[in-house]
Amino acid sequence: MRIALAQLDPIVGDVVGNQQLIMDAAEKARARGATLVLTGEMALLGYPPRDLVLREGVAAACDRALMEIAQKFPDMTLIIGTVRSVQRDGRGLANSLAVCRGGVVTQYYDKQLLPTYDVFDEDRYFSPGTGTVVIDHGGEKCGLLICEDIWGADDVATSRHYSIDPVAQSVKAGATALLVASASPFVLGKRARQHARLRQLAQKYSLPIYSCQQVGANDDLVFDGGSVGVTCAGVIMHMGKLFQPDLITIDLDVPGARKSGADTTAQRASVSGAATAHVPCAHGDLTHAIVAGISGYFAKTKHTKATIGLSGGIDSALVATLAALALGAQNITGIMMPSKYSSGGSVDDAKELARRLNLGRLLTLPIDQAHELMAQKLRAGLGAFQGLADENLQSRLRGLTSMSVSNADGSLVLATGNKSELATGYATLYGDMVGAVAPIGDLLKTQVYAISNWINAHFAQLGFACAPIPEASITKAPSAELRPNQTDQDSLPPYADLDSIVTGWIEHEGDVPAIALATKLDLKLVERWCLAIDRAQFKRDQSPLVIKVGARTFGRGRPMPIAARWRLA
């Protein structure tokens, strides 16, 4: 038997376009001799649909598309991720797999485990499935599962536990292989945890597992692909490309050839269109994930050009480099907006970055005259205007300038704030926080440095003619340059210390004494910055969309109260 995993990049809500993606994949699979095609989770509607799934007519449109697909491929078995209306207690929708055979939809499997943590809120929309579906195909009994049904929250840091085990239910119902449709968002390190989970289950039940994963990016979420087959001996087959659509066809042995614990079905598979085995690299994965997030957002909102404020510092240099990888350097406008406090070195570094990247356009739009005029007017009205208020005025003038360029040429502004700044409130509302997307908003400052160095070290592999980020942008002391001789460490602890506090408070939701003990930092210092993180929530609730690459990302997955008090220590 030959099966195919259709690793697709759907657009949420584009049922007609996604239907065509599925049919194109099925045509290719049929040409390769496959008789069964598995898509990712909710491939027909796109994942996650969020409240769009509640709109009148969405489920009906999916039903019509399914019937058309089934009629076009009567000689194949297609297992397609979709949404459907159901008549049972709870919400009237189900996250489903439709089995298309003989020109009709013969049955559905409804997802049983509905995640309601982090960015997931499936219990808001769907009723859980109530039974197992095992289909016969080519002498194999294939148990159908959807994403969380197999992960069971074991691939994430959560206290969520479920009272049922869909994997065990499928095996009890006679499954000799598992077909899993997934749309599992990228998080650094998650892929390894998922592989471990698949290996453990394959060995435990002595059956092969074939998991088809969504690819691409939808809003803040990135899907890395990498669809896999796992042998009954627990050997992972890296068959799907990472961060790219792919069609993987696999020849399977007959079940009778298996022996207990033996590596049969997938080990002797013939894989067509497979990628070379991926060697894990944290910095490379983060780079490719953010690039996919930028390119997906722009493509799916039908934008092609980006505008980025270039300060000569490391954050804007990294954002511009990632945007060049995602959109092409010719589609990037860099804006230098020097003030009277901007150093000559910073201006030179911004120019050098633009030269190395070969940006499509570099504008110089100084803010010093506008700053002086506004400061005079504010001093006249207020009597005094200085310090932080004057510093933030400069940042907001840069935000105004960036958005004006965006309005003039139809580009989207990319914000340059990192997670350390967003955490502590060091980023300025309506200033450096303006824009459509914050590409590095989930990267700590220490990660910004590490990834910048990695990109420079691997520039040829990424397609650059030289190391794109000027060395001075990496090595000089970081500064907002909003007052004379300013550095970030005038206001913040050293970034290595700050990032360990942010990690403890945000990623692990720890308490102050535990963080102080683990980091060996002063208790009062930890308490001060944990309080600052909580106080800055009102800013983060107005932040551009942050591309999620970590376990706890500012935005949808961390809905914290603004008007709240919590005793820190």
Instruction: Look at the alpha carbons of 201, 205, 210, 212 in this order and tell me if their dihedral is positive or negative.
Output: negative
Where does the pLDDT of residue 293 fall: very low under 50, low under 70, confident under 90, or very high at 90 and above?
very high
Q: Mapping DSSP to helix (H, G, I), strand (E, B) and coil, where does residue 33 land?
A: coil
Q: pLDDT digits over 82-123, tens only?
A: 999 998 877 899 999 999 999 999 999 999 999 999 999 999
Q: Which pLDDT belongs to residue 160?
A: 66
Catalytic residue among 142, 147, 232, 530: 147
Residue 64: how many CB atoms within 10 A of its CB?
13
Where does the pLDDT of residue 434 fall: very low under 50, low under 70, confident under 90, or very high at 90 and above?
very high
| Residue pair 462/487 in contact by the 8 Å Cβ criterion | no
Q: Which residue has the tokens 């060996």?
A: 520
- Residue 315 tokens, joined: 């954050």
What is the share, in percent, of the chain residues with pLDDT greater than 90? 83
Q: pLDDT digits over 296-343, tens only?
A: 999 999 999 999 999 999 999 999 999 999 999 999 999 999 999 888
Mean pLDDT on 116-144: 94
The set of residues, in sequence order, having a beta carbon less than 8 Å from that of 233 and lying 6+ positions away, is 202, 203, 261, 262, 263, 264, 267
For domain 284-485, the question of CATH label 3.40.190.10 is answered with: no
How far, CA to CA in Å, does 83 sit from each of 13, 51, 132? 11, 13, 17
Q: Exposed (0-12), middle (13-18) or buried (19+): which is 14, by Cβ within 10 Å?
A: middle
Cα separation of 281 and 286, whole Å? Answer: 9
Where does the pLDDT of residue 441 fall: very low under 50, low under 70, confident under 90, or very high at 90 and above?
very high
Pairing between strand 215-218 and 236-238? unpaired
- Residue 86 tokens, joined: 């159901």
Q: Which pLDDT belongs to residue 41?
A: 98
Provide the CA 3 distance to its chain's centre, in angstroms.
28
Where does the pLDDT of residue 161 fall: very low under 50, low under 70, confident under 90, or very high at 90 and above?
confident
41 is catalytic: yes
Q: What is the mean pLDDT of the chain?
A: 91
pLDDT over 70 at 249, yes or no: yes
**DSSP states along 255-302:** GGG--TT---TTTT--EESPPPPP---HHHHHHHHHHHHHHHHHHHTT
| Residue pair 406/413 in contact by the 8 Å Cβ criterion | yes
3-state helix, strand, coil in the chain (%, to 5): 40, 20, 45
Q: pLDDT digits over 187-245, tens only?
A: 999 999 999 999 999 999 999 999 999 999 999 999 999 999 999 999 987 779 999 99
Q: How far apart are the first and last CA of the chain?
A: 61
Q: Which pLDDT belongs to residue 232?
A: 93
Q: Which pLDDT belongs to residue 486?
A: 75
pLDDT over 90 at 568, yes or no: no
pLDDT over 50 at 275, yes or no: no
Q: Which pLDDT belongs to residue 538?
A: 95
Mean pLDDT on 33-60: 97
Extract the runs of DSSP E, i.e. beta strands, from 483-532. Answer: none
- When computed from its CA atoms, the radius of gyration of the chain, rounded to whole angstroms, is 26
List the chain domain ranges.
2-277, 284-485
Mean pLDDT on 30-47: 97
Which of 14-18, 101-105, 280-284, 409-413 has the least mean pLDDT?
280-284
pLDDT over 80 at 155, yes or no: no
Q: Which pLDDT belongs to residue 272?
A: 40
Q: Which pLDDT belongs to residue 477?
A: 83
Q: pLDDT digits over 340-391, tens only?
A: 988 888 899 999 999 999 999 999 999 999 999 999 999 999 999 999 999 9
111 is catalytic: yes
Backbone angles phi, psi at 194, to 5 degrees: -65, -40
Q: pLDDT digits over 525-545, tens only?
A: 999 999 999 999 999 999 999
| Residue pair 307/400 in contact by the 8 Å Cβ criterion | no
Q: Which pLDDT belongs to residue 277?
A: 44
11: alpha, beta or left, given left = phi > 0 and alpha = psi -120 to 50?
beta
Which helix H or strand E contains 70, and what residues bound it?
Answer: helix 58-72
Q: Which pLDDT belongs to residue 260?
A: 33
Catalytic residue among 62, 100, 111, 140: 111
* CATH (one of 3.60.20.10, 3.30.2350.10, 1.20.90.10, 3.60.110.10) for 2-277: 3.60.110.10
Q: Which pLDDT belongs to residue 270?
A: 38
Nearest to 242 by CA among 26, 9, 14: 9
pLDDT over 90 at 468, yes or no: yes
Which comes out higher in pLDDT, residue 256 or 457? 457
100 is catalytic: no
Q: Mapping DSSP to helix (H, G, I), strand (E, B) and coil, where does residue 336 land?
A: strand
